Structure 1
């Protein structure tokens, strides 16, 4: 032996009489396990590469624990941080070295418990604590929308403070962003671009559901020198299932609550050259008064198509300025012809009812229009226009990634009528 002799507790031996006839002697410790009474302090045999003083460990370097082969072998290692997360590692075949196989978290405090056996088979232990240095570059997440009650079509958004392009790094981020719903739903994240993700279920959220989103990125290594930071969780509630289906060909909107028709409204939609977009849109907000100008959508002042109107009960469905709103000037065409510049117009009384009935996240779907399809991203929430298979392909944890563009901020607040 090349280490200091240990003072070991004498292990009591008890003669066991078994029903098979023969007597046998066995040695037990106080917990009933052979040779487990009062393991000795193995501080002299077990070595760590973590700092033993107040210095912080580099989280980019793996944790290594070793024992001299002539002193025995390591039998077990447990490494946990203050949140109870375990650090994975690998023990060599001869028990001489344990090395972490998962990255350490930055700015975390770890407790390390090592068990070993010396060359005579006696158990020893050593426990240490150490802290890792905080990262100078943090990735944090801002969830959206703000807490509240929303319609069944509302996606969850996650805005990152730094771009994440590498597929493996995206998988780390995505696996740490947890969304839970009661009742449970099938859903996944979709990478809109390098800094933005959307989460939606396979189908619309169940009416009355509660939805929460939380980031477990804090301290997690995302990429070289980039670690996750703390982020605020989000909790939403889902209201009734409100769906407004606008048939541009029939000039009529049908509004359903939880599958039951609650109103049928004559409307006018976009005329040729300004046809309303087809597809599923999500209510983005409501504005009692909006001043709408043709110049905001590229119509020259003084041209035959020019307009400057005061509009009331305006429910926004795209950032570029598509609304459902009161259009008293076109009541004679509502239910018969499409005469707007892209919005869905209706009488003032119907617009007031619609304005009071819907909330953010409710569904507005346009069918049978000559317009283009609603863009999935960049002009509101067109997420539901992607099939479930296509949506899942935008997840780094499912298959591949999708490059997209950020919303055109210059296009915001451009009303159309």
Structure 2
């Protein structure tokens, strides 16, 4: 017998309902699904990576930032691929990557009264790129927070004599001399030399770079002083970098014999011409020592009051060659014509006839050396003009702040 067939089932159709699911939820669900299928750490797993975070110090929008800081850019969760920093003039600020590409630091320091713009790009381990842009400004440069300087030689491309030091005189005291000296780079074709700190005649701080011996003629000399933003102490900073270059001319040394009352110009070690002179009388004897020709000033007014000699003289003097800050000159002195080669009777300068002074003036370069001997006076002070050559080499090296 056949079993009776089951009664047919009745199926009820339900209307389908579609609900909108946020895309973010779908994305997370997809990640979770992939993780579940693959298992923990299994093939096919996928983990959402975080973008690299780039930060700039000083921060974006900062104003009145203290000068003298380094600029730093840091990447968290990746590495920097490009960093460009420019100042308000559009000049690029040098710097370098460190810490395996996670940090960039500027080579120099921020200057007063400057605005800096930083653009940085980075990537994470998955190659995803990110970037950051920031700008900030430092406190304005004022007379109260900056230190200025005077360079010698000061004229770019000048020709100087074999005794000319590189000299930097500061308007205000320098308390961290080592920090300043580290920023001074001299390129002099392999010439051995050293910086030495001295007090200028007016009491100012000064640092000079001189070779071990007189310069070799034809040497090209350049100074790059990367001082922008460097602190000189006392709340003062340098507002800019400085550079200067010059070339050493022919070898010329003027040997002055006070006792013999004459001077001789030597060129390349050979005597060129000897001139009769009248130097300082015993009460105002001319300094001994090596003096570098500081300037050729032509016709100037010389007044005894300016050098502490009362009202002894007030004259217009021709062919004036400045040898010291305190007022030592070689110049024409026609009023002493009867005394040239016979009597030392000046107020401390080296006088000669108009014709001889004119000739010597035309032959010399700023930076040529006067070597004075035979006087009853002592040796001129190192900071009185460029008396650097009166210090022996070992002592001069010891005057560096980096000794």
Aligned match of 1:199 in 209, 213, 222? 209
Alpha-carbon shift at residue 375 of structure 1 (Å): 1.0
Q: Deviations over 1:250-298 (max 9, x none)?
A: 2221211222211112223223222210001111233444555555554
Alpha-carbon shift at residue 367 of structure 1 (Å): 0.9
Aligned to 1:86: 95
Q: Counterparts of 1:221 and 1:294 in 2: how far apart (Å)?
A: 40
Aligned to 2:182: 175
Q: Counterparts of 1:226 and 1:291 in 2: how far apart (Å)?
A: 37
Contact 1:142–1:232 (Cα < 8 Å) also in 2: no
Aligned to 1:373: 379
Q: Counterparts of 2:277 and 2:123 in 1: how far apart (Å)?
A: 76
Alpha carbons of 1:51 and 1:311: their partners in 2 closer, same or farther (altered >3 Å)? closer
Aligned to 1:245: 255
Structure with larger Rg: 2
Aligned to 1:387: 392
Alpha carbons of 1:236 and 1:128: their partners in 2 closer, same or farther (altered >3 Å)? same
Alpha carbons of 1:337 and 1:222: their partners in 2 closer, same or farther (altered >3 Å)? closer
Where 1:371 maps in the other structure, the secondary structure is: coil
Q: Counterparts of 2:265 and 2:58 in 1: how far apart (Å)?
A: 66
Contact 1:333–1:339 (Cα < 8 Å) also in 2: yes
Alpha carbons of 1:184 and 1:63: their partners in 2 closer, same or farther (altered >3 Å)? closer
Q: Deviations over 1:198-241 (max 9, x none)?
A: 23222223323333333322345666975542245323233222
Q: Deviations over 1:140-159 (max 9, x none)?
A: 54423331332222223324
Aligned to 2:151: 143
Paired residues for 1:128-277 under 5 Å: 128-136=132-140, 137-147=145-155, 148-160=158-170, 162-166=172-176, 170-181=177-188, 183-193=189-199, 195-219=205-229, 227-277=237-287
Alpha-carbon shift at residue 64 of structure 1 (Å): 7.2
Q: Counterparts of 1:214 and 1:259 in 2: how far apart (Å)?
A: 32
The answer to whether 1:356 aligns with 2:365 is no
In structure 2, list runs of 5 or more residues that go unmatched: 1-26, 31-46, 87-91
Deviates more, 1:364-373 or 1:265-274: 265-274
Q: Deviations over 1:312-343 (max 9, x none)?
A: 33322123322222334444443344333322
Deviates more, 1:276-285 or 1:208-217: 208-217
Contact 1:189–1:392 (Cα < 8 Å) also in 2: yes
Alpha carbons of 1:124 and 1:286: their partners in 2 closer, same or farther (altered >3 Å)? same
Aligned to 1:414: none
Q: Counterparts of 1:85 and 1:41 in 2: how far apart (Å)?
A: 36
Alpha carbons of 1:81 and 1:160: their partners in 2 closer, same or farther (altered >3 Å)? farther
Equivalent residues, number? 340
Alpha carbons of 1:281 and 1:115: their partners in 2 closer, same or farther (altered >3 Å)? same
Aligned to 1:44: 51
Contact 2:197–2:208 (Cα < 8 Å) also in 1: yes
In structure 1, list runs of 5 or more residues that go unmatched: 8-39, 68-72, 400-417
TM-score (norm 2): 0.69
Alpha-carbon shift at residue 129 of structure 1 (Å): 3.5
Aligned to 2:116: 108
